Amino acid sequence: MEPVLVVDGIEKSFGGLKVTDKVSFSMFPGDLTAIIGPNGAGKTTLFNILTGHLAPDAGSIRFEGKEIAGARTQDIVTMGMGRAFQITSIFPEETVLDNVRVACLSKLREATVFIRPISAHKRATDRAYQILESLGLEKFSDRRAFELSHGDQKLLDIGIALALEPKLLLLDEPTSGMSPEERLLTRELIKKLWSLFNLTLLFIEHDMDMVFGIALKVLVLQQGALLVEGTPEEIRSNPEVITAYLGEEL
Amino acid sequence: MESNKRGWTTQWAGIAVLALFALLPLVKTSDYQLTVANNVLLWAVFAMSFNMLFGVTGMLSFGQALYFGFGAYSVGLFAYYQGTWWFLPALFLGMAGSGILALLIGPLVLRLTGVYFTMLTLAFAQLGWGIVVKWYDFTNGDDGIQGIMPPAALSNKVVYYYFCLVLVSVSVWFLWRISRSPFGLMLRCIRQNPSRVRFLGRRVKRNQLRIYVISAVFTALAGGLMAGVDNSVHTGMWYWTTSGEVILMSILGGMGQFFGPFVGAAIMILIEDMVGARTEFWSMVIGIVMLTMVILLPKGVVGELVQLKERLFKRSSALGV
């Protein structure tokens, strides 16, 4: 099977500080991989590099066989990389439906059509409702996005990314700021979305129940470098990881 | 199915208002009153096309006078040098020229965002004003151009009024369709969260340039038609105060509402007209009105009315009425 993503020795420094240090890994279709690591380990920076928000100083990133290191965000996204954000990134004044629909329109290349009203774009509208249903947000479709609870806004953020039908979906701490109940629901939901939409998923997470509950593979970052990579069982018993987390029981 | 209800209300309100303007000449209006009404219509188009940048896309241009003046002077200069026959072709040449000018200046001003974008648009507009003032041999400088007559078929005041009303209605309809289209949604998304728009795979600056050009074209239309209302053009049309006026109109009427700038234009013109007839300090009245609005009713006239309606509606539905 061809890998979706091959990251090979990427590096990034801010001033003298090395925030990404020779990181290499691959993602295959259907992978469900978690990235863990202490604060400041360079997890979000890695996402920023993958999505073209930052250009790496060295190394290569091959996405679907094409080199994308240093490419522009909008081009990488158009190639099929989706991303949801740690700090919720939605369109607060638009309706919940339109938040997802704008992404559906974008995917169908109808996002800059003018004169024809949005509601006449049936395919995008149906697709948007379908995604809202899979997230359990369809009952809020007419509400403005800022009226949603924090947890639902995070789901909406994921919904926007899902609407682009990504070949690889990056989720940056999907449960951050959620209540324990919301976390549990979100964990189940992400697992469900993964199988429902045949996703290839790479997510950053601090909640270990979520990481060891659903991930098939785990990458551990520490001080910008990839410490280990393996199945949840291997990671749990790895002495290096245990030390990195200061003896915390995983 | 979805929230089309508000859209319909706005649409019918718009049609009703334009129909009202169509009835004006029938109820025995003086030439002067008709001129005031025409002023409202043309400034409304100017303000609404400005608000497509400001209220919708979040681009505060302080240089829309450039395209207003360009449209007006296209008509003025052609009529002056080539004769009245050129009035209409010049109107459309002015719109096309304005679009091309915006296509050239747009990529330069769009390199910057926020207040730097605003200052740069101001700089380009003032540059245009400077050229028109200094190039006396061609533009008549500060003297302006007088005696611009629409072609014979449109020379009657009422006929010209209806001619303007038709073009204004088409413009308003076109801008309305844009704001209800996927492109309009994209523009609102750019205002609220441009970095997420890039994560939809869309280009922020390219879409900003599109609306910048569209706005310039309709601004030039308003300017060109204005030349026929006053039968003259003057350098003030290029001046920064002209750019400032549409900003005030948008805020006064409500920049978050499609017809906000229309209402703002009507209020400003009526204040200018009614208070200006009694005292030369009419701009002070506008100042006081603006101050009151910004402090007490920051959403503008239309915005506050919509909110009031929503609040009343919500309360009555909560009571089960």
Give pLDDT, residue A84. Answer: 93
**Residue B320 near chain A (CB below 8 Å):** no
Burial class (CB in 10 A: 0-12, 13-18, 19+), A125: buried
Give pLDDT, residue A250. Answer: 53
Listing DSSP states for A105-173 in one string gives HHHTT-TT--SS-GGG-HHHHHHHHHHHHHHT-GGGTTSBGGGS-HHHHHHHHHHHHHHT--SEEEEE-
The nearest CA of chain A is from the CA of B197 a distance in Å of 8
Smallest Cβ–Cβ distance between B193 and the set A78, A89, A116 belongs to A89
Give pLDDT, residue B321. Answer: 36
CATH 1.10.3470 is the classification of domain B4-318: yes
Phi (first) and psi of residue A7, to 5 degrees: -100, 125
Give me the mean pLDDT over the A218-231 stretch: 91
Confidence check: pLDDT of B316 > 70: no
Percent of chain A with pLDDT over 90: 74
Listing DSSP states for B90-109 in one string gives HHHHHHHHHHHHHHHHHHHH
pLDDT tens-digit series, residues B197-234:
999 999 999 999 999 999 999 999 999 999 999 999 99
The interface predicted TM-score of the complex, written ipTM, equals 0.90
DSSP state of A201: E
Show which of residues 122-181 on chain A sit within 8 Å of chain B, judged by CB atoms.
124, 141-142, 160-161, 164
Give me the mean pLDDT over the A71-88 stretch: 92
Give me the mean pLDDT over the A119-139 stretch: 95
pLDDT tens-digit series, residues B178-203:
999 999 999 999 999 999 999 999 99
- The C-alpha angle with vertex B263 and arms to B260 and B265, in degrees rounded to 5, equals 105
Give pLDDT, residue B221. Answer: 98
Instruction: Tell me the H-state helices in B140-281.
Output: 157-180, 182-192, 194-198, 204-230, 240-253, 260-276
Percent of chain B with pLDDT over 70: 96
Domain locations along chain B: 4-318
Percent of chain B with pLDDT over 90: 73
Residue with tokens 């001080």: A223
- Measured CA to CA, the distance from residue B136 to residue A111 in angstroms comes to 47
Helix (H/G/I), strand (E/B), else coil: B30: coil
Mutate which of B189, B199, B204, B215 to test chain A, going by most A C-beta atoms within 10 A? B199
In A, minimum Cα distance to B210 occurs at: A112
Give pLDDT, residue B320. Answer: 41
Percent of chain A with pLDDT over 70: 98
Confidence check: pLDDT of A16 > 90: no
- Measured CA to CA, the distance from residue B134 to residue B124 in angstroms comes to 15
Q: Are A175 and A207 in contact (CB under 8 A)?
A: yes
Confidence check: pLDDT of B69 > 50: yes
Give me the mean pLDDT over the B50-55 stretch: 97
Give pLDDT, residue A134. Answer: 94
Average per-residue pLDDT for chain A = 91
Give pLDDT, residue A236. Answer: 87
Give pLDDT, residue B279. Answer: 83
Range of lowest pLDDT (A123-137, A150-164, A232-246, B144-158): A232-246
Phi (first) and psi of residue B193, to 5 degrees: -165, 75
Domains and CATH numbers, chain A: 1-77+210-250 (3.40.50.300)
Question: How far is residue B47 CA from its own chain's centroid?
Answer: 2
Smallest Cβ–Cβ distance between B185 and the set A75, A83, A102 belongs to A102
Please report which confidence band the pLDDT of residue B294 belongs to, taking 50, 70 and 90 as the band edges.
confident
